[in-house]
Amino acid sequence: MGNPIAGRLLAAGHALVVFDAVPAAAANLVERGARRAASPRAVAAECPVVFTSLPGPAEVHAVVEGADGLLAPGATGLVHVDLSTSSYEAVQALHATEAAAGIALIDAPVSGGAHGAAQGTLSVMASGDRSAYDAVRPLFDAFAANVFYLGAPGRGTIAKLVNNLIFLSGALLVQEGFVLAAKAGLGARELLEIVNASSAKLYAGMAPLFFGRNFDMTLFKLGIAEKDIALALVSARELGAPLPLAEAAGETYRRAVEEGRADKVFFATLETLERAANTTVEKLA
């Protein structure tokens, strides 16, 4: 996600200083005019605004508080915009740590995938200090079509987690229904026609994608989906909100990862459900 977002910022005329733990991952940005830095600290030394886009809380922590992290002497006044998906508690802790160092954190997770980033159509869910948000708000226009400001730190993170929780848990329910039908000998094509004429139509819009069975497509990896649900569940426990259905969904995603499907598309959970039921859902063209 970070690479196409950075590309959009470059295309909009912004000067970029970039760092990636894998230097080759930023080579295309350097070719387009971005300057390469040796560390996150070096980026912070040159830039008043730093964007991070990382896999999860552990990586964000390392980039901020590691030996060459953003918490460098003289970082006071920096605005840190974290586009990563994190947990509520992790964001709260990071906000406090950065505030003590004079850094304003805006947690601003995004939705829309790498394709949306490349097209500039992401949704941004931002929260944190209002004046810091107002200062960086124009930058979001380079890569987002929808930008929401949600107030106190952590609310943007919760909004992103809830969005993914609904999407990913709902996907499983559709898959489970079609697996049940397959077990009884009812074909996916026949069932989809019935569902589309009935009350479940609202939830089955992605059924043709799921049952096209292209589990190696580049869209949203199952391992990332499992991580996002896990972060939502951690946040729910921190806030004291029981989520029994989400817990069950998280278990299915965990099982799919354990079966070696982490690098497949998120709906490869279908294979895990089929394996458990000893059946296969008909492929839809």
- What residues act catalytically? 160
Tokens 């006044």 label which residue?
Answer: 77
Q: Considering just the CA atoms, what is the radius of gyration of the chain in Å?
A: 21
Q: Which residue from 79, 64, 77, 54 is spatially nearest to 136, judged by alpha carbons?
A: 79
What is the CA angle 131-152-168, rounded to 5?
120
Alpha-carbon gap, residue 246 to 249, rounded angstroms: 5
Q: First CA to last CA across the chain, in angstroms?
A: 30
Give the sign of the dihedral formed by CA 22, CA 11, CA 30, CA 48. negative
Which of 65, 58, 23, 22 shows the shortest CA–CA distance to 41? 65
